[in-house]
Structure 1
């Protein structure tokens, strides 16, 4: 039969080319554009040139001969010769038609489908590859707004989809029903198939193109499914992928990894340079989200490891977070490691707490002492007017953190000095305002230049002595708040009154005793 048709074609080639015969095996619905294989000789009559395409002989000489007399772009029932060549999966005929001027973007009447859409729908990989190499518009749309990529997903043609993906087809487009490639795959229950196809392409080092990352992002896609192998390929694409891209709600890949508990993906992103301090529309960061994760400890380890091994603009922010967390948890070694650089130990976290405040609240006296030695300031207040000392006392008075803070504050007070009232003659005279200060090293307590006003303390105590009370028994200020006394090594008793009441008097006494001990025994 096929040989007979070829002979007929050869005989007709030089004669009338508008002769129509019923030899075809394909028919189609002009309304929907759907094709039907009806069997040889049962299709609508068409010209002999169409027969030369459907019953193509190996050399192509007959088709070439016919195309000398007829244009390849004359439509027949809304299609042209090249559409028929694709329908018949005849690659050689397609090549001849393209060389003879066939329009690769000629739309099928009623559907708007082009060659690439027809090839994708039929799943003709070889034909599709030929069209892509020929420069066909791979993102052209049908009247329904579907691209060849969407059509491959709808008909589950995995090899064709991979080909288009590798060739740069746009995953960020939607059709007239606002469906993208992923949503179409979900409708036809091919989600897992699409996922595997995408991963196969990404693992070759290809970053899938998307004109709208809110619809599809290769980075977000592989992060959500925690495919570390694919993610490694993506982060290696320096200058191609923005690791800090954010979706319509402001979520970054690092945030997505945290929310889904993907520690390995998070680690890869952080070490590749992802910014964990980016905020989404709700003011959340990858760091703040990690605090609520069931894998909080694992995320903290990643952040700590990065902070200790990297030195980048991003690492300073991570160090800032890690220092606060380590101080809060009582991790001395980490705090020590993170304060050896140029980090600001007085920087507050998002809640206004400095590392010292957090260490004090946790009762970690050793860490408080370390932070103070690195320049931490004790009297910083947060928005709730809390200080490190106030937070330390939440664990009860007399704990280790409170002791460290009070020692530091007291020592600073007496060495810096302050204005006090000094009583004369054991309380019989009128008090005079003096500048009271201690000298570090020798432990001298001074309130003037003469030797009589430079004394070495034996001990100090809040409140007056019995003799002082008696001498001022008729005075209203005999029990004045802020009163404290010092006994010198010569057993001379001196009374002072400071501003700030009993608490400040206790601090003076504490500082005097502390500096005196240091002078005798060393720090």
Structure 2
């Protein structure tokens, strides 16, 4: 995917590197080495250089002449395990060479020697397959008119891939031969001396990957970030000037005062073009001002920290961390739908609009690829997110949590299909097993639960018919019925109910199967449980059962935004005014989360609009409080006001909804409350008015709005402060 994203992207500078590759190619028959190794640190442009060699964007220089002599290419990518597969590599090279017009006779030799070599053969004995599919056919034909070359980018990616052991765990080959090649790097290192003398091997790898670079000690080294070389230093300067020349959005930021900042950017980059690119991209998108270059640390890791502090202010990172965990754990690029499934595996209450907002927060660090897939913009950023030494505890992510989310999403996909796991392809099943094996196992989850996770419906049926107690519980106190309901597995739920499983059995947290399925949003499972209760003449008793926190199924579904479930529960006469241990009703929960349709359903079903929770807050109070306020919260406020909610109700701190909204800076909510005749000068227990609240928090738009509605500017709070004195502190 990385090569497809870079393909066609404008490339600048590096003419000296192309000249060196061209020199190696021309002198291949007489050279002592059969290859060139492009080296450098993260972000120096190795992959970009390889892409430009294969798919040139420039009409001048060596790129065009080199591109005409590329026989085959392969791009290894740590975020896509398929690109690290030895079988995909071997068969991919053979396929490209067979289709190439640069060779004569290769296809015939390949047909004769390779015979029935397939992916399984390549994985079982990659060394033999490489010889039969690539080397021997090449050695059996005559030399072409010109020397040719093969490009293999990032041969060290198997060692960088998540979960790799450092010994080639990402390659997946050589299982049947312990002494054989296990990665693409090992395969090439073992056989490059057998390449015909008219064929040059060009590879790239990080300079820090010592184990890999030592495999290619005889190769001609092309270092892209060796600052002892003047042409390397010039590259960063040329890149900046080329971007300025090509992009008006950048030039408009240039002035006499900011020109010096570009020189500082060149110095701070230390030959890392990714560093320069990220800063200039930020400038062109108005995320970074040129004058701020002086404040950016002079390392790539420091730049990542500075950018994340800019992009994810306050609590934003906590909202996107689960998505990053999934991306870090995934074995291939994730589509938007797959990311949504992971997000809901982490938090079933995530609605589509909330997911879209979270995904939008990641715009600065994700790139969109084919089929609407997403990956992190660079593998070095993925490594940074997992290294607390660089990213700090604030931005630290956990791939193991991502593995758990991906395993749950695969499990849910299988449960949604009538034939259990038939919804998963063989590759999906393999990935499911990998993610499951890398999931953190912590109480109440036990290691023996992992194989149970994958158990099929027919196996459960056999267990029940064999005399297993249908209401037997696990270490968390959950029955098979509760676990099936929690996962949304309708078939297993119905099977357990048909064997008279007790739906009222609660786990250690007091949650029944109905509570769990309502919380997760599994509508069909909820209806199946209630229908069974109706058959047994006890629907009301089941519907209003509360967990250990006093939360009923209606309260859980209202919080999660599951409209259909709320409708079903109120149809079965659920008590809409039951409160949890904190005194919160389903209406208060729905209002806090901004679920307008659910608020309306509950009000139509008799919910008390002015019922207070333990803090003295009503539904209107919490709708005004929510941070950050969304369009959903504004519409909830409007609906509650239309239904005659008490607009000036005070909680235990004396805060009215207007005071709360003013403190949080919710301009649209404040406007709705004022139009609903809220008291613009109502005071809390400390004598502070809404104007005090907005001024103390620096919410200028809200201050202007309150003044327009006649807020008093000369009031004094209990500490003797005026509005003006508070505003002066901002």
Shorter-chain TM-score bucket reads 0.3 to 0.5
Rg larger in structure: 1
TM-score normalized by the length of structure 2: 0.25
TM-score normalized by the length of structure 1: 0.33
Using CA pairs below 8 Å that are at least 6 residues apart, which structure has the higher relative contact order?
A: 2
